[in-house]
Amino acid sequence: NKLMWQVSIIWNNPYYVYNTQIIVDIASTVNLFEFPFDAPVEGLAFSEIVTNQIETIRNMGEIDCGALFEINATGSIVEPTVINTDTLERFTLNIELYAGDKLTINTENRTKQVILERNGKKKNVINTIDNVSTWLKWAIGINNFTYKTVYGDENLKLKIYHNNMYLGVWYSYGLIFYG
């Protein structure tokens, strides 16, 4: 009687993921405060939120990969859309967001999801994806992203989180031992 057993080693992610995450804040605050200082009676702006701009982002990895898009609402927003201006691919959600809402769009392979966090509760809203939307990817090299809404561009703050990925483990190995 021979004893046979098998060991399978499977890598769920065959890529090496660089451990430093790249964070791009598309709706950024531009400081306007400078010295010397003399405040006029009608008031003075200390900063300005710049919205709806195009941000250039570099994927220095070896493969096209997904990212995490985080939309924070500072007021009412209708149908937020994230756009890759190089490919004209877009990701639109048929949803209305309110002040304090956080929407997280994950376009990474094997972890794709769309989660709305409202009043401390998380809800899967993947069913609100527009039917012509594309799960956005970062191509190797330069990528340009922007956003738009049907209503509320000035209320949308978009951050993009990305990790460069490199070629790594390519195969799964199955080992069979006979005793």
Q: Confirm if 153 and 78 have CB atoms less than 8 A apart.
A: no
2-6, 7-11, 30-34, 77-81: which has the minimum mean pLDDT? Answer: 30-34
On the question of a cis peptide bond just before residue 80, with omega within 30 degrees of 0, the verdict is: no
What b-and-e string marks burial along 24-39, b requiring 16 or more CB atoms within 10 Å of the CB?
bebbbeeeeeeeeeee
The model's pTM is: 0.73
Q: Confirm if 156 and 141 have CB atoms less than 8 A apart.
A: no
Average pLDDT, the chain: 82
What's the average model confidence in pLDDT over 100-107? 97
For residue range 141-163, what is the model confidence (pLDDT) as tens digits? 999 999 999 999 989 999 999 88
Give the phi and the psi of residue 127 in degrees, each rounded to 5: -70, -5
Q: Which tokens hold the place of 59?
A: 């994927």
Q: 42 Cβ partners below 8 Å, 6+ apart?
A: none
Q: Which tokens hold the place of 11?
A: 């890598």
Residue 27 has pLDDT above 70, yes or no: no
Structure confidence at residue 179 (pLDDT): 46
Structure confidence at residue 10 (pLDDT): 63
Q: Confirm if 69 and 104 have CB atoms less than 8 A apart.
A: yes
Judged by DSSP in three states, 153 sits in helix
Q: What angle do CA 174, 175, 179 make, to 5 degrees?
A: 150
